[in-house]
């Protein structure tokens, strides 16, 4: 069986924190974990961007920084967003998601954090997120983090691929965890 779990909320609602907690619980139970998380980066207590973290290796790489902090061909801007985005960072993130999708099994979990405005337009980690969604046809659990206004977009991405789709807010951690266990447990 397969399921897509959509962890949604506003900015700073704890989506990444909930995904981190789920990944740590899964690892502690011996459940294979893959994908990426996108924790905030602070400098002198000011939010300056987001990094990507490869959940398989623990490697960290820059994804976004305030526009004023970066310049050059390795960074791009999108619309009026306050961040510039790392070309190599998004290449790395997509490669991690694609590699994770190839190893997705009935007894593993992949995290896609965060599906945002760039991804809605087909940029950012869209190609990796799409591959993860496609591989749900074969089973496994994928956890997608997004803002609440993008839940319908993530549902559309996973519809017809995952056998079940669930929406959770990040403060509903116990229900999230029980859902992961139910779908991983169905593989045993």
Q: What is the pLDDT of residue 122?
A: 97
Q: What is the rounded average pLDDT for all residues in the chain?
A: 96
Q: What is the pLDDT of residue 188?
A: 45
Contact 135, 163 (CB under 8 A): no
Q: Is 16 a residue whose pLDDT tops 50?
A: yes
From residue 156, how far is each of 66, 134, 153, 160 by CA, in Å?
30, 12, 5, 8
Is the domain 2-185 a CATH 3.40.50.2300 member?
A: no
Q: Is 185 a residue whose pLDDT tops 80?
A: no
CA dihedral (40, 43, 48, 52) positive or negative: negative
Q: Is 63 a residue whose pLDDT tops 60?
A: yes
Q: Is 142 a residue whose pLDDT tops 60?
A: yes
Distance from C-alpha of 188 to C-alpha of 125, rounded to nearest angstrom: 31
Read off the pLDDT band of 187 (50, 70, 90).
Answer: very low
Indicate the pTM of the whole model: 0.96
Read off the pLDDT band of 186 (50, 70, 90).
Answer: low
Task: Show me where the domains of the chain are located.
Answer: 2-185
User: 3-class SS at 114?
Assistant: strand
Segment 164-176 mean pLDDT: 97
Distance from C-alpha of 70 to C-alpha of 84, rounded to nearest angstrom: 7
Segment 145-159 mean pLDDT: 98
Q: Is 119 a residue whose pLDDT tops 70?
A: yes
Burial level of 144, CB count in 10 A (0-12/13-18/19+)?
Answer: buried
Q: Is 58 a residue whose pLDDT tops 70?
A: yes
Distance from C-alpha of 140 to C-alpha of 129, rounded to nearest angstrom: 14
Q: 71-89 pLDDT, tens per residue?
A: 999 999 999 999 999 999 9
Q: 99-109 pLDDT, tens per residue?
A: 999 999 999 99
Read off the pLDDT band of 182 (50, 70, 90).
Answer: very high
Q: Which DSSP string do the residues of 73-90 spell out, in sequence order? A: TTEEE-TT-SEEEEHHHH
Instruction: Please tell me what DSSP assigns to residue 165.
Output: E
Distance from C-alpha of 94 to C-alpha of 83, rounded to nearest angstrom: 19
Contact 124, 97 (CB under 8 A): no
């Amino acid at each position: 069986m397969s399921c897509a779990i959509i962890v949604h909320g506003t900015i700073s609602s704890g989506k990444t924190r909930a995904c981190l907690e789920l990944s740590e619980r899964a690892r502690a139970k011996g459940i294979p974990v893959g994908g990426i998380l996108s924790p905030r980066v602070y400098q002198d207590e000011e939010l300056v961007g987001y990094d990507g973290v490869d959940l398989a290796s623990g490697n960290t790489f820059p994804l976004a920084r305030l526009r004023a902090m970066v310049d050059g061909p390795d960074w791009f801007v999108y619309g009026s967003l306050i961040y510039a985005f790392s070309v190599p960072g998004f290449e790395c993130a997509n490669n991690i998601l694609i590699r994770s999708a190839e190893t997705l099994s009935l007894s593993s979990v992949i995290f896609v954090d965060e599906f945002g405005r760039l991804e809605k337009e087909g940029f950012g980690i869209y190609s990796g997120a799409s591959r993860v969604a496609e591989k749900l046809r074969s089973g496994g659990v994928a956890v997608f983090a997004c803002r609440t206004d993008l839940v319908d977009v993530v549902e559309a991405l996973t519809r017809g691929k995952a056998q079940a789709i669930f929406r959770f807010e990040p403060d509903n951690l116990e229900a999230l965890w029980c859902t992961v266990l139910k779908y991983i447990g169905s593989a045993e």
